[in-house]
Structure 1
Amino acid sequence: MSQVLPREILICTIARLLEGVRHVAVGASSPMPAAGAMLLRAMKEQVGAAPIRISILGSVEHNFFTNGSTELFDCAGQGRIDAFFLGGGQIDGQANVNLVGVGDYPQSIVRWPGSFGAAYLYFVVPRVILFREEHSPRVFVEKVDFISAPGTSDPGIHRTGGPYALLTSKGLFQFDKTRPGFTLESVHPGHDLDEIRAATGFDFLHDAAPPVTATPDNAMLALLRGRVLDELEETYPAFAAEMRRDGAALPVL
């Protein structure tokens, strides 16, 4: 088994979370979600399985939209996007996402870019994966300061979409909308439950000894380090170059 980078584990985990989708959309600043989608597409093509469609905003090669986010929103509203990724300056235990800022709105101490279409996509895309590489108490809070996009809705509100999972640099969580709340599904190699609990500002369910997140096999790594990084370079050249550099620095076993 080859040495594996932490980001490679995240990308391969994303590919597994996307299993079964037909169409995944990725924002313009999401290289790892894009890489995970590309990896799944490459794996499907290798075995002759039904292909998946990837729409990356800002990409020419990996995007069939010609009118940017307008077509993305139309497509999502028609039920033609199966998965999407959301991050946030703050995320709480109810899967509420804050993209506006810290402090009492509108007198926010820190301001972020804003909600844009997050709330809309959260309501209509069935498999929304929350992704934030930083795992710290300032990101994962007990209650967000501002709700840009709510994780759940009151009974009687029509909603076909919502949170599916939360992936961070430390672990993978699944979201249960019936509770509602998160359950720690696995801990990434090099981390442990105590570390995750200390870095998370909300409560979550977990096994006494959570399993370790699966690492990619050599076949997945070969696809990721070859074809996927080649494809990723068109939209995210700096990220692809960084991944190649970090991979080249790994010790040879």
Structure 2
Amino acid sequence: MSTATLRERLIVTIASLLDGARHVAVGASSPIPAAAAMLLRAQQEAAKQAPVRLSILGSVKHNLFTNGSAELFDCAGQGRIDAFFLGGGQIDGQGNINLVGLGDYPQTSVRWPGSFGSAYLYFTVPKVILFREEHSPRVFVNKVDFISAPGVSDPQVYRKGGPYALLTGMALFMFEPQRARFRLLHIHPGHTLAEVKAATGFDFDIDAQWSQTPDPAPAVLALLRGRVLSELHETYPDFAQQLTKEITAYAD
């Protein structure tokens, strides 16, 4: 039996995907990506490596920006952000995301907050990690109802950014830009390939070496449950408390 909760596994997986990034930006209301970025920094400092720079919107301690998203967009346009996170009410097999609503725009039957700067960041940030805890056919659809940000573009369109990976509560997929398709790499413990297929509304490739998501190393979990959880309280106190309860309940 694994010693890690699902959310801890998600945090550790994202941290591994961020390896090599020098500057990671995290948008608002993103506690799991924020925790992952903090974990990467903690691991680097423990190994006496140059730590990644973090820009976590909504944080005072972990954000050097003084003008919110305006500076985030400036940094991205200047090529000074290496990784960012996006989600969506819908995500399809080509990496398109929908943050607007369900149905034919503008007569959407369900309205979401809106695209904001998602398309801009999708084009300018080299490593965009798509993240949704919910893994269901209503989220992962064959074709999104509205494209807030496209996963791929025509060859003549200049873009240096795009989807790098898709992490859900069931599995980890990597994105293949040349094929415009996701490739299943890991399935989290407690789920099967049949479950993942049934919960995904688009076709995807399966890595020849696909496996169960690796268990976090004890030293990594110690960092997460110690320093990272403490740092997370500053920006996401409610989530940090909830995660602490989950860890305690799981241990019992």
TM-score by length of 1: 0.98
Aligned mates of 2:20, 2:209 — CA distance in 1: 29
- List structure 1 runs of 4+ shifted beyond 6 angstroms: none
- How far the C-alpha of 1:250 sits from its partner, in A, is 2.1
- How far the C-alpha of 1:3 sits from its partner, in A, is 1.7
- Which residue number in structure 1 is paired with residue 217 of structure 2? 217
Deviations 1:196-240 (A, max 9, x none): 000000000114773011110110110000100100000000000
Over 3 Å counting, the alpha-carbon distance change for 1:2 and 1:219 in structure 2 is: farther
- Given that 1:85 and 1:128 are in contact with CA atoms closer than 8 Å, whether structure 2 keeps it comes out as yes
- Given that 2:96 and 2:151 are in contact with CA atoms closer than 8 Å, whether structure 1 keeps it comes out as yes
Aligned mates of 1:24, 1:227 — CA distance in 2: 19
Identity %: 69
Confirm or deny that 1:45 pairs with 2:45.
yes
Runs of 5+ in structure 2 lacking a partner? Answer: none
- Which residue number in structure 1 is paired with residue 170 of structure 2? 170
Aligned mates of 2:209, 2:41 — CA distance in 1: 33
Runs of 5+ in structure 1 lacking a partner? Answer: none
Identify, as 1 or 2, the structure richer in strand: 2
- Which residue number in structure 1 is paired with residue 246 of structure 2? 246
Over 3 Å counting, the alpha-carbon distance change for 1:96 and 1:83 in structure 2 is: same
- Which residue number in structure 2 is paired with residue 137 of structure 1? 137
Aligned mates of 1:190, 1:249 — CA distance in 2: 17
- Given that 2:185 and 2:209 are in contact with CA atoms closer than 8 Å, whether structure 1 keeps it comes out as no
Q: Where do 1:27-176 residues align within 5 Å?
A: 27-176=27-176
Q: Where do 1:169-188 residues align within 5 Å?
A: 169-188=169-188
- Given that 1:193 and 1:210 are in contact with CA atoms closer than 8 Å, whether structure 2 keeps it comes out as no
Aligned mates of 1:41, 1:246 — CA distance in 2: 23
- How far the C-alpha of 1:76 sits from its partner, in A, is 0.3
Aligned mates of 1:63, 1:209 — CA distance in 2: 38
Aligned mates of 2:141, 2:249 — CA distance in 1: 35
Aligned mates of 2:31, 2:251 — CA distance in 1: 25
- Which residue number in structure 1 is paired with residue 230 of structure 2? 230
- Given that 2:2 and 2:215 are in contact with CA atoms closer than 8 Å, whether structure 1 keeps it comes out as no
- How far the C-alpha of 1:127 sits from its partner, in A, is 0.1
- The aligned length equals 252
